[in-house]
């Protein structure tokens, strides 16, 4: 039996992988690691965990993450903790001869001033947006370190390091903190409270920025496909297509409609980066080649409906 160790295993994407893991072969054993199980900022504890499970594959999702305002206000913590986590995990993947390690990046780490759509080759073509620069550079370094391991040690292809680059992820099991979460869970939580208090949903910013959103279970399926079916150490963008790009205002409108409440925009707040349009051509072509079919993504309206229902049902116990 082969073991897949998932760091950040109880987070948004890790939980989605757990939800669909029963659909995979019985010879695969999944270990979902949380921060309570191991402090990945500590090398000795990370080593002990790898020694305990001796994984064949690693899906590295663990990170110190947050929304726009956490990235702006806690730059040192965002950089240091992510650097520590990533160096420890990749080093142990090398030492324990993991067959393949997939690390999760984000489109928010791409250059601020660039042409669109952005693709996998443009990651280091300029500085990221200043609002999330510390976090972005720490995540970029996973790709640099992965490439370094591949070039220095991986001549036999026995151990492969690669990176996935998803666009904005949403779904059940997210972090719904009102200040430190990403835009969708924050809006869902705010809408829930607004409904309770008979008030409108207040959205920070103008609502004009554009984003590509991917439902967490869609992403989970693509991660396992790239891990188990694709022999490659190249980075790949995992995203819906450009024509599915939607404004924050339209997302907020869908959420407000689900809760049957009014909507207000607080334009005194920063919008952050206007757009981060990603090119998923590489994904679509490779998936079509290996599966002889197109990818079917969950429509944003359906994904938000599922996410809201999950949040309401799990309000007392979810991360918030």
> Which residues are identified as catalytic?
135
Q: Report the alpha-carbon distance of residue 60 to residue 314 in Å, rounded.
A: 26
DSSP characters for 96-114? TT-SEEEEE--GGGSBSS-
Looking at the DSSP assignment, which residues form a beta bridge with residue 202? 264
Decide: residue 35, CB within 10 A, 0-12 exposed, 13-18 middle, 19+ buried: middle
CA 305 to chain centre: 20
**Phi and psi, residue 103, nearest 5°:** -110, 145
Listing DSSP states for 19-60 in one string gives: HHGGGS-TTEEEEEE-TTT--TTSHHHHHHHHHHH--SEEEE
Distance CA 37, CA 45 (A): 10
Distance CA 129, CA 148 (A): 25
Rg (CA), the chain: 19
């Amino acid at each position: 039996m082969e073991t897949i160790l998932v760091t950040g295993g109880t987070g948004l994407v890790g939980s989605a992988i757990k939800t669909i893991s029963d659909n995979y072969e019985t010879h695969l054993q999944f270990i979902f690691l949380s921060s309570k199980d191991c402090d990945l900022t500590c090398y000795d504890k990370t080593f002990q965990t790898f020694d305990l499970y001796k994984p064949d594959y690693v899906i590295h999702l663990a990170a110190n993450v947050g929304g726009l305002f956490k990235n702006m206000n806690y730059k040192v913590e965002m950089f240091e903790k992510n650097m520590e986590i990533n160096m420890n995990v990749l080093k142990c993947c090398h030492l324990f001869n993991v067959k393949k390690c997939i690390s999760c990046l984000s489109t928010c780490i791409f250059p601020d001033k660039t042409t669109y759509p952005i693709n996998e080759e443009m990651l280091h073509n300029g500085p990221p947006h200043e609002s999330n620069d510390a976090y972005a550079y720490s995540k970029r370094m996973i790709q640099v370190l992965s490439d370094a391991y591949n070039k220095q040690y991986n001549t036999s292809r026995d151990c492969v390091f690669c990176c996935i680059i998803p666009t904005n992820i949403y779904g059940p099991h997210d972090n719904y903190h009102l200040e430190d979460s990403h835009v969708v869970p924050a809006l869902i939580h705010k809408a829930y409270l607004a409904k309770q208090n008979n008030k409108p949903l207040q959205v920070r910013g103008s609502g004009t920025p554009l984003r590509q959103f991917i439902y967490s279970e869609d992403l989970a399926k693509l991660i396992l496909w790239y891990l188990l079916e694709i022999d490659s150490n190249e980075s790949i963008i995992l995203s819906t297509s450009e024509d599915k790009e939607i404004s924050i205002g339209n997302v907020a409108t869908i959420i407000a409609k689900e809760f049957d409440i009014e909507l207000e925009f607080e334009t005194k707040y920063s919008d952050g980066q206007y757009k981060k349009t990603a090119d998923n051509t590489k994904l679509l072509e490779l998936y079509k080649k290996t599966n002889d079919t197109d990818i079917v993504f969950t429509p944003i309206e359906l994904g938000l409906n599922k996410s809201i229902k999950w949040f309401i049902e799990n309000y007392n116990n979810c991360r918030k």
